[in-house]
Every structure is written in C-alpha cells, then in structure tokens.
Structure 1
Amino acid sequence: MAGAWDRVRRAGRGTARASRTAAGATVRAGQTVARGGRRVGQATRRLTYAQGAGRTGLGRLIELTAAHSAGDAFITVSLAGALFFGLPVGQARGQVALYLVITMVPFTVVAPFVGPVLDRFRSGRRYVMAGTLFARGLLCWGMASSVVYGDVLSLFPAALAVLVLSKAYNVSRAAIMPSVLPADITLVTANARVALFALVAAGGAAAASAGLTAWIGAEWVLRGAMVLFLICGVVAVRLPRHVDSPDTDEDEEAPAPGWRTWFQVGPVVGEAIRANAAIRIQAGFLVFFLLFLVQDKHLPGFAPEITIGLLAAAAGGGGLMGAAVASWARSHSPQLIVLATLALTTVTTIVAAFFFTLWTAVAVALVGAFAQGLGKLALDAIVQREIGEEVRSSTFGVVEALLQIAWVFGGLIGLMLSLFARGPAGFTVMAVVLALSLGWLLAGRRRRLRAKPVRLPATTDTKPLTNPF
C-alpha cells in the first residue's frame, strides 16, 4: 500500500514539474511574441516618423489612417458573406445590383453636405475626424446585433452610414495633409506613404478577420472593430493642434459650395478627375465582370476559389505597387502621372481583349489596381496644391463622390455584360471606353496648352521659358 502511495506522489510531482515546464514555455513564447511585436512596432514607428514626419504630425496621421483602414477591412470581411456569397448566381446578381444602386446614394450626400460642413469647421478638424470614428464604432455594435438576429433592414442602412463616415474621414484627412507636410516630403510622397501603410494594415486585417469570422463569428469581429474605432477616435483628438486652422470672418460669410465646386476646380484638377473617373469605371467593371465570369465557369484554368484568390492578390499587389511608385516619383509632374496611368490601363486592356486568358485577366487586374492607386494619389496632390484651404474639403467631397459613382457605373456595366458577353467581348467594350476617354483628355490638354499665353522674356530676363503643365 505504501509503495502505491509513493508511486502516486511521484506521478503527482512529475505532473507538477511538467505543468511548470509547460507554463514556463508558454510564458517564454509569450515574451518572444511580445519582443517581436515591440521590434515590429519600433521599426514601423521609424518608417512612419522618418524625414520629419514625427515632428509635424504626419507620422501620427499615418498610424491613425492605417488603423482606420484595418477597421474598414474588419467590417468589409465580416459582412461579405451576408451580402454576396452563399447565394445562387442569379440571386447574387440581383443582390449585387441592388447594392451598387444603393451605394451611390450616400455619395450624393458626401459632396453637397459633408464637404462644406468640414470646410465650415476647419478649426475643429480633429474633433470632426474623431466624431466619424466614434460614430462608426457605435454603428459596428449595432451591425453586430443585426447579424446575430438576421435583421437585414437595419444592417443595410448601418453599412451605408459606415461608408459615408469612412469617406468623410478620408475627405478630412486629405484636406489636412498640407498642414502636416514636412519640408523634405512632397505631397505625392506623403499621400503615398499614408496609402502604403493603410493598404498593408487593411490587408493584414482582412486576413485576420477572415479567420476570426470563421472561428468566432462575424458579430464578434464587428465588436472588435468597434473597440478599434473608439481607440482611433481618442488618437484623432490627440493629433497636433496645428491640424486645425482658425476660422476667419470671410470664411463665415462664404457660401457652402457643394456640387458647385465641380465647376470651379479649374482645367488641371478637372482633367485629373476625369482621368481617374475613367480608371474607376474600369476598376468597377473588373470586380463584377470577372467575379461572375468565374462563377459562370467562363474563365478556365483553376478552381473558382483559386482563380478569385489570384485576381484578388493581383489587385492587392497592384495597389501596393502604386503606393510604392508614388513614393519614388516625387520629382515627376502629377498631371503627367495621371495621364500615364490612364494610358497604361488602356493599353493593357486592349492587349487583354485580343489575347484573353486567365493570366491576361490577372495582368489587367494588377495594372488596373496599380493605376487606380497611383492615379488617385497624384489627383490628391493636385487638389491639395491647386485648391485653396477654404474649399478644399468640399472639393475632396466632390472628388470622392464622382469617383465612387464612376466605380458603381463601371460595376453595373460589368454586371450587365456578364449576362451575355464572354471575356474578349467585355474587355473590348471597356477598352473602347478607356481609349475614347484618353483621346478626349489628350485633345483637351493639347487645346489648352496651345491657348495658354507664353510669357516673352524681357531684355534683362535671363530665365528660360517654363511650362507648368
């Protein structure tokens, strides 16, 4: 009997030693992960605060926008299953068409109302940005309840409100960029740095939220997004005070421009907006045309899941490449960058229309995302340079609205063509649209440059003639 008790005590001591060893290993693993996280955080901080960005507040704005993009990715992935997937192809087309039409509604609100409101309250931009983040956090909590109870009637309005608030944040963020710009960084480079970190954060958050949605459910991912947005709201309030610009008496008397801003942007900004709108039409077309082409098994090569993954990876990679090239192209004219991106998209689409395969479709997705990212960054720099601060938010509101409407229009084209057109025919239609847009913009640019008066140098003027375009 005593021997049995000795064996029990020895087994107990062995179990205790094993438990202590396992606990120690877990603690050490946790410490290793924590050290790795600190190193990554320190390296990220060095990148975001480089070239004086930490001194002016640009670094904080980059980090805030990256977290904001991660929260948007949480929302998008958690709601994707309820809105698009798991439905028959025919029913999915109707659901997507309804979503596209409804998506345009918020942007008719952004341009005439949100932009002028942001211009009116330039002295409180930090609080406006924080308000959009706090409101999205509360909406995420409401959407989580809608997902649990299957309440689509409340889910759609909340999702659209989140979309409007996200655009309002982007409009305000773009408007304050010149006030946090370091002396050694151009506007295109600063915009590219913000976009690059936002894309990386959104990509990581999308992957994490996909796994979490499958594991714990979409409602818990939305609740996690709520916490993230509330923290971001606090960070927004703590941005540097020079982000806010004081209101003047002239500003209080100025009328709210709204959609009238579209007619006052000038030829340079107007040209950049039209070029980006053409690129957005192609972007919306690609998303829905290729999606239903894959579902209808008209894009052979791999299983549908693998094909969609390849196209999504190409689009994500193209966006990252656009941000990286924008950082490099600091000395190039943003007007020429915009036209070059449209030309590149047009040529790629024409080639894919003649030689349509899975890999040319992947190439078009890559180049289209590259052009969309780089062209939008150049457009932001043009607006920030050409438009005065008193109507800059209104202008960005109009730009966001027009580009989103162009994307929806392209999506509807892709949706309709997917009903009866195969890949080559659909790409041919889009190639014609892009080629006509490019030809129209080049012709207008040529007329404008010919009509521009050239300053003749005086006798003592030794400076060479320059052309700002």
Structure 2
Amino acid sequence: MSLALGRAGRSTATGTKRAGLATARGTRRVGLATASGAQRVGHATRRLTHAQGAGRTGLGRLIELTAANSAGDSLITLALAGTIFFGLPVNEARGQVALYLLITMIPFAVVAPFVGPVLDRFRSGRRYVMAGTLFARGLLCFAMAAAVGPGDVLTLFAGALGVLVLSKAYNVSRAAIMPSVLPADITLVSANARVALFSLVAAGIAVPIAAGLTAWLGAAWVLRLAMVVFLLLGVFAVRLPRHVDSPDLEEEDERGERARWRTLLNVGPAVTEAMRANAAIRLFSGFLLFFLLFLVQDGHLKDLPTTTTIAMLAAAAGLGGLAGAAVANWARNHSPQLIVLLTLAVSLVTAGVTAFLFGLWAAVAVALIAAFAQELGKLALDAIVQREIGEEVRSSTFGVVEALLQVAWVFGGLVGLLVSDWSAGPGGLTAMAVVLALALGSLLVLRRARVKARDAKVQAKVNDARNDARTTDVAVVEVADPPPAPTTTKPLTNPHG
C-alpha cells in the first residue's frame, strides 16, 4: 500500500513538474510571439512615419512624439472621466461639468494673448519648450494621482486645467515648427493630416487600455502611468533635430515687435475667415458632446443601455476624426479655404437633418460627421496659418487660434449642458442649425465683399497701368524729332548783275 502511494506521489510530482515546464514553455512562447509581433508593428509604424523623406527632416520623429502625447492625454482623460463625471449623479454632474468648463475658459481668455509671444521669444529653444510642457504634465499627473484617494476635487480641477493649458501650448509649438521639418514631397495639409492620423490611432489604442486599467487598478494608477509616459516623452522631445529650433532675429523694429501680439483683427483676411469658420464648427462640437452625453444620462435615448450608447457615440466620434484626417491627406492639393467653408456647410446640413430625424442612429451619425468636420477644418486652418503667417509671429497666431477654438468649444459645451435640461433633442439641434446657418451666411457675404474689393483693386491697377501707357505714348510723340524745315535754294548767279 505504501509502495503504491509512493509511486502515485512520484507520478503526481513528475506530472506536476512536466505541466509546470510545459506552462513555462508556453508562456515563454507567447511572450516571444508577443514581443516579435510588437517589434514588427514598431518597424511597420516606423516605415510609415518616416516615409517620403519624413525621417530625414525630422517629421517622422515629430509624428511619433505627437502620437505618444495623444495617448498620454487619453490616459488622463479616461482617469478623470471615471473620477469626476460619471461617478456623480446626473444633476450633480451637470454642476461639476459646468464649473470645469468655466474654469477652462477663463484662463484661456486671459492667458491667450501672452502664450504665443512667449513661445515666439523662445524660437531658438522650441525643443526645450515642448519638453517642458511634457515634463510639467507628468508632475501634474503625480499631483492628481495623490488627490484621487481623498477626493480632492479642487486639486483635480486645477490639475486638469494645467494639463489642458500645457497640452495646448504643446500643440502651438508643434504646429509652429511644422514648416521647418516639412519634406519637399509633402504639402502642409498632408503633413498635418499625417500627424493627426497617427495621433488619433494612438488615442484609439490607448482609450480601451486606459479604461481597462482604470477599472482594474483605479484612476490613481492610470494617472501614475501617464506621469511616466510624459516624463519619457520629455526626454524624447529634447532629442528632436536641432533645426527645429530657429535662430532669433538680432534686430527687430518696433513694428515687428508689435506684430507679435496677434489678435483676430490683424492676422489677415484668409486666416480670419478660417478661424471664424472653425470657431463655429468647434461651437457645434462642444454643444454636441455635452448635449448628447446628458441626453443619454437622462434616458432620452433608450434603445440601448447607457454605457453601450456612450461607447457607440465615442466610437463614431473617433472614426469621424480618422476620416477627417484621411480626407485631408487625400485633398492635399485642394484649396484649404474652400475646405474650411465646406466643412462648415456639412456641419449645418448634418445638424438640420439630425433635428428632423432625431434618434439613436441619427445621434451616432451626427457625432461621426461633427468629428469629421472638426478634424478636417482644423487641419485646413493649420495649413493656412503655416502658409500665410511668418515664422517670427507664427506661435502668437497659433496661440490666438487655440484660444479662440477653446473658448468656442467651452461656450458650445455650456449651451449644450443647459439645453439638455429642457430639450429632448430636435429643438436643441434646430437652434444649433440656425446658428451655423448664420455663421456660414455671414462668412459668404464677407467673402463676396472681399473678392469684389480685390477685383476692383486689381481693375484699378490695370486702368492705372493703361493710363500710364497712354501718357507714355503721348510723351514719346511729343519728344520725337520734328520734321525738317523747308530750305530755299540760293541762285548761283545774280540776274541783275
């Protein structure tokens, strides 16, 4: 009996050992396969980001840096969303969200005139400015992670605001240096679209990972992970090519110094038109986000569970952004001004149709098309600014652009927040369609007046040139040699002599 038990024990031990070895080998194979797959994906991504000379000029590194930056922002967004917004009752969440929107709008309205000029001052150290925004966001993530446990809402709001401002500062610096890393075979619209595409893909990959980590480990650990990501990205930013930094001008006259302080009135007609159109689109986007979110939370869209509906709307917005970046890359040879007006027109038509056919699938469609219009219009606006504005004041102009769009988005969000409390859907979208129609109509009227003024000015120059030509012809005739005077022939002899 004991011998049989001993044999059974040895057999069990041997089987357990073999099973352990088999499990270890299987785990090792899975790990090696995963590492090999990740390496292949990394090589494929590097080939895409460095294509068409982008690796030689530094555009490829900038694309990778911005994509990772977008993934880090997604980690923060998911962590804060689980902490601040969806963890509260609907009525209480409305107050918290409204407070957050106001907190984000006021500093942008006050600080915006100063962000751009400061960045223009440090053109010779743009790599370090970008790295500074990344390092600072890492530190803010550490502070917010410490505030999650005690539920320190004030620290979370202040940290979120700081992250938002620093993220906008990074985007301003990134957009300002784009022409300096542009390969000869890529246009500005195409380069901006390539950056946006990889950023959206990175964010789309990071969102489910962040959601899973938030559910598993909690928001504090996700914020700590974001801290590590941003600190590593800061080191990567310092290693960008040196030609990203522009030499400072040794002499600047008083007029050039005043030109640093950009406003909506002194950026030129093309940039002003694109900014106003994008502000209207961003107003519509902010309205939709909070309007649809609280309609779902209030139970007005009951076709599917709340979580599923929100996931569908988020997925539609992500796909719309990807489609906008892809179309921008395809439309690289078309006029950016025309693209901006078309995106506003598409937003108007979509709002009107959705108001008439409101429901779950109409809400998904409007979320997709609004994200498409926002992405495409912003990429066209960036290309217009990069083309029309000189490098010495480009950051200042982008500062004004980001501030205007942020204020428009916040204002739209506040309107959507208020309208969602009394409108079940069609009424709010109809009102927004009227606002978009007024915006598009005013832009078309102003554009027509500007084109007429330009044509009149050109015609006046042509008439002046013709008059100058006629005056020159008359003058030539007047100064020409006069005809020879008649001569008298003197007789050879005197007939009376």
Normalised TM-score (structure 1): 0.95
Q: CA deviation at 1:259?
A: 5.5
Is the partner of 2:458 in helix, strand or coil?
A: coil
More displaced stretch, 309-318 vs 58-67: 309-318
More displaced stretch, 267-276 vs 448-457: 448-457
CA distance in 2, matches of 1:251, 1:32: 59
CA distance in 2, matches of 1:135, 1:154: 15
Q: CA deviation at 1:85?
A: 1.0
Q: CA deviation at 1:124?
A: 0.3
Q: CA deviation at 1:257?
A: 5.4
Q: CA deviation at 1:2?
A: 3.8
More displaced stretch, 75-84 vs 151-160: 151-160
Task: Give the corresponding residue for 1:124.
Answer: 125
CA distance in 2, matches of 1:30, 1:105: 49
CA distance in 1, matches of 2:258, 2:234: 27
* Alignment match of 1:372 (pick from 374, 385, 395): 374
CA distance in 2, matches of 1:135, 1:252: 34
Task: Give the corresponding residue for 1:263.
Answer: 265
Residues 8-407 of structure 1 correspond to what in structure 2 (within 5 A)?
8-251=9-252, 254-255=256-257, 260-407=262-409
Q: CA deviation at 1:149?
A: 2.2
> For residue 169 of structure 2, what is the amino acid of its counterpart?
A
Q: CA deviation at 1:288?
A: 1.0
Q: CA deviation at 1:17?
A: 1.3
> For residue 58 of structure 2, what is the amino acid of its counterpart?
G
CA distance in 2, matches of 1:279, 1:47: 30
| Pair 256,113 (structure 1): closer, same or farther in 2 beyond 3 Å | farther
* Contact persistence 1:272–1:379 (CA under 8 A): yes
| Pair 89,319 (structure 1): closer, same or farther in 2 beyond 3 Å | same
| Count of equivalent residues | 459
Task: Give the corresponding residue for 2:6.
Answer: 5
> For residue 433 of structure 1, what is the amino acid of its counterpart?
V
Q: CA deviation at 1:314?
A: 1.2
CA distance in 2, matches of 1:45, 1:332: 28
More displaced stretch, 42-51 vs 84-93: 84-93
Q: CA deviation at 1:296?
A: 2.0
> For residue 345 of structure 2, what is the amino acid of its counterpart?
A
Normalised TM-score (structure 2): 0.89
Q: CA deviation at 1:382?
A: 0.2
CA distance in 1, matches of 2:86, 2:78: 11
CA distance in 2, matches of 1:372, 1:303: 28
> For residue 316 of structure 1, what is the amino acid of its counterpart?
G
Task: Give the corresponding residue for 1:462.
Answer: none
1:415-443 per-position Cα deviation (integer Å, ceiling 9, x unaligned) = 11112222111111000000000000001
> For residue 174 of structure 1, what is the amino acid of its counterpart?
A
* Contact persistence 1:341–1:375 (CA under 8 A): yes
Task: Give the corresponding residue for 1:454.
Answer: 458
Task: Give the corresponding residue for 2:440.
Answer: 438
**RMSD (Å), alpha carbons:** 1.7
> For residue 199 of structure 1, what is the amino acid of its counterpart?
L
Is the partner of 2:307 in helix, strand or coil?
A: helix
CA distance in 1, matches of 2:334, 2:312: 32
More displaced stretch, 364-373 vs 101-110: 101-110
* Contact persistence 1:320–1:370 (CA under 8 A): yes
| Pair 3,303 (structure 1): closer, same or farther in 2 beyond 3 Å | closer
> For residue 378 of structure 1, what is the amino acid of its counterpart?
A
More displaced stretch, 339-348 vs 300-309: 300-309
CA distance in 1, matches of 2:237, 2:169: 14
More displaced stretch, 22-31 vs 408-417: 408-417
Q: CA deviation at 1:413?
A: 1.1
Q: CA deviation at 1:151?
A: 1.7
* Contact persistence 2:262–2:400 (CA under 8 A): no
CA distance in 2, matches of 1:110, 1:319: 28
Q: CA deviation at 1:187?
A: 0.3
Task: Give the corresponding residue for 1:464.
Answer: none
> For residue 98 of structure 1, what is the amino acid of its counterpart?
L
Q: CA deviation at 1:3?
A: 4.0
* Contact persistence 2:109–2:407 (CA under 8 A): no
* Contact persistence 1:258–1:398 (CA under 8 A): no
CA distance in 2, matches of 1:378, 1:134: 30
* Contact persistence 1:116–1:256 (CA under 8 A): no
Is the partner of 2:240 in helix, strand or coil?
A: coil
* Contact persistence 2:260–2:393 (CA under 8 A): no
> For residue 364 of structure 2, what is the amino acid of its counterpart?
V
More displaced stretch, 307-316 vs 163-172: 307-316
CA distance in 2, matches of 1:300, 1:15: 53
Q: CA deviation at 1:171?
A: 0.4
Question: Identity over the aligned pairs, expressed in percent?
Answer: 71
* Contact persistence 1:251–1:390 (CA under 8 A): no
| Pair 252,213 (structure 1): closer, same or farther in 2 beyond 3 Å | farther
| Pair 173,438 (structure 1): closer, same or farther in 2 beyond 3 Å | same
Q: CA deviation at 1:12?
A: 1.6
* Contact persistence 2:52–2:186 (CA under 8 A): yes
Is the partner of 2:149 in helix, strand or coil?
A: helix
Unmatched tracts of structure 1, length 5 or more: 460-469
> For residue 454 of structure 1, what is the amino acid of its counterpart?
V
Task: Give the corresponding residue for 1:424.
Answer: 426
Q: CA deviation at 1:11?
A: 2.1
| Pair 174,292 (structure 1): closer, same or farther in 2 beyond 3 Å | same
1:68-100 per-position Cα deviation (integer Å, ceiling 9, x unaligned) = 000000001001122111222211111111111
> For residue 179 of structure 1, what is the amino acid of its counterpart?
S
CA distance in 2, matches of 1:23, 1:231: 32
Is the partner of 1:249 in helix, strand or coil?
A: coil
CA distance in 1, matches of 2:405, 2:453: 29
1:107-161 per-position Cα deviation (integer Å, ceiling 9, x unaligned) = 1354222211110010000000001101111111111111122222222111111
* Contact persistence 1:70–1:202 (CA under 8 A): yes
* Contact persistence 1:294–1:307 (CA under 8 A): yes
